[in-house]
Every structure is written in C-alpha cells, then in structure tokens.
Amino acid sequence: MAEASESLVTDPGAPETLRAARSFGAAASVYQAARPGYPEEAVAWLVGDAARVLDLGAGTGKLTQALVALDRDVIAVDPVEEMLEELEVQVPGVPRILGTAEDIPIEDDSVDAVVAGQAWHWFIPARAVPEIARVLRPGGVLGLVWNSRDTSVGWLREAGEIMHERHDASATFESYVQIGRPFGPIEEHTVAWTARVPRERFLDLVRSRSYFITASADEQRDTIEKLEELLVGHPELQGRDELDVPYLTRCFRARLG
C-alpha cells in the first residue's frame, strides 16, 4: 500500500485512516506505475527459505512480483478489489483473495511466511498479530518491509516538505515496529539502492499517495505546481530529464515462537 513516509498512523481503525486506506482503489493503475518495487536482496532476506508466502495488503503486487521472481508460491490478500484487479494484470495466476489483516480468509497453519509491503501501518496489531500467527505454520516468519526515500538528499528533503510528509519515517521504524507474542525478537536489515525515474513519474508517485488522493482539487494543483517548480529549478536537477531517487528498503522479520 502506502509509501513509508506517509505511514505510522496513530489509529489504524479511525474513520479518517480507513478512508485514506480505501482511497487507493481510485488510483490503482497510477500506484502500480509510480511506486518502486523491492530489491531482490531485501525480499530474499525477508522470507528466508519459506516456500509458501502470504502477501498481506498486497495492493497492486509490487512485493508479489518480487516473491514470484524468487520462485515462491504466493497468495495475495488485500481489502481493495481494484488493487487486486491491477495485481492480476501485473502478476497473472497468483491467487487473489479479498480480505484484511484482521480477518485473513485462509486456513490455519497454511503458509511458511506472511509479508506486508508498505502495509503494516494500516493494520490493527492487536487483532492482526493473532490472525497472522493462526495462518502461519510452526516456526513461520512475519516479514515487514518499507521503501523509504533517503531524505538526506537536499532536493528530496524539499520535495518532502511540499508533499506534507510528517516525518522521516526511516528514522522511526525501530520504535514503531512492535509485534510481540507469540513472535520472537525482531531482526532488521536495510538495503540502500537508487531508482532512476523520469520527472513525470516522480509526480505520479505523489499522485498515488493517500494524502494527495483525498485532498481538494486546489490542494492537489498547488502541490503539483510547487513540485514542478522545484524539479525544474533546483541546482541538483537542472537540465535533467531523469531523477536519481535514493531509497532505503527497511526490512523487519520475526519468527513465530
């Protein structure tokens, strides 16, 4: 679902949070085109030797694609039908099920790993953790992953201010990712990488964010205009048709005790 910098909501069950989560259905194709994928190294670390993997909050299949590329047997679950329709286009043949982290519509002890890409912040942990434990086989793994833009880069930091990013999410995950029993200790792994994207695709990334989708037309127009000015006029970007966007892929995993 959402990119790291728009995550860490205070109450995943609050009406405004649910409205933001469901807003992705209106922009599924833009989301798929604009959002970055996940580096193979990160996904391989996340699932280890798990053969059958549940992608929870799968969205349009960004993480699903990486799992299939690693030759894993994948089931995709998401609460938004439009996102799963886009997933079918991108990763045909993967079983798609409408469902939530709090009510996972698969059998007990049926998968070796459950993963969530850009999605844990939409879950209600008190209800999701027992459900995830239920569908995992003994010793199974829960893996959580976020792509976070590296805002130490000057122009990206300025873009984040225009995009109303609330904080540097990459600096807060250690305190945010709390799973608890019946899972064991949390392990962490970070992969740094760079995506080269056309300027317009970066703007599409902004258009795929929940805060933008739910904003007024005037607010949307103002955001895009300010970003266009930045991307054309910033000294680090002048004369460039493509942008180098540095990412940190932050991975967390815990094993079922």
C-alpha–C-alpha distance, residues 148 and 246, integer Å: 9
The position carrying tokens 């599409």 is 204
Enumerate residues 6+ apart whose C-beta is below 8 A from 49: 112
Burial tier of 142 (Cβ tally within 10 Å: 0-12, 13-18, 19+): buried
The position carrying tokens 């760079």 is 194
Tens digit of pLDDT for each residue in 60-82?
Answer: 899 999 999 999 999 999 998 88
* pLDDT (average), residues 211-239: 86
pLDDT of residue 105: 95
Count, residues in the chain: 257
Greatest distance between any 2 Cα atoms in the chain: 56
pTM: 0.76
Q: End-to-end distance of the chain based on CA atoms, in angstroms?
A: 28
**4-149+167-194+245-255 CATH:** 3.40.50.150
C-alpha–C-alpha distance, residues 197 and 194, integer Å: 10
Tens digit of pLDDT for each residue in 188-223?
Answer: 999 999 988 888 888 887 787 767 777 788 988 998
